[in-house]
Amino acid sequence: MKSIPELLSLSFSTYPFSSTAQVTFDLPEASDVRLAVYDVLGREVAVLAEGRHEAGRYTPTFDGGRLPSGTYLVRIQAGTFGATRSMTLSR
């Protein structure tokens, strides 16, 4: 039986990462979700999740292999909740 998280959360598998990173988010209830990655200039570089998701844990992979080293912002919007975290791509 799959456990349902109590709070929405956002975390990374490795920090800093060298080319790919697992971005985990937990949904306490079904929500419309958009999980995207932006460079420091605000340009969207990847969309990791979009659309309706049931409650539970999700772990999409971010592939930064074609991007330069630097800081990237991961933004999740799920229902009325939004959060932004930074992550560093280091080669």
6 confidence band (pLDDT: 50, 70, 90): low
At 57-66, the pLDDT tens digits run 999 999 999 9
pTM for this one?
Answer: 0.86
Question: What does the alpha-carbon distance between residue 57 and residue 29 come to, in Å, rounded to a whole number?
Answer: 11
How many residues in the chain? 91
The Cα 5–Cα 20 span in angstroms is 25
User: Does residue 43 surpass a pLDDT of 60?
Assistant: yes
Which pLDDT score is estimated for 16?
Answer: 77
> Residue 5: pLDDT band by 50, 70, 90 thresholds?
low
The total of other beta-carbon atoms located within 10 Å of residue 71's CB is 12
By the 10 Å C-beta count (0-12 exposed, 13-18 middle, 19+ buried), 65 is classed as exposed
- CA 64, distance to chain mean position in Å, is 13
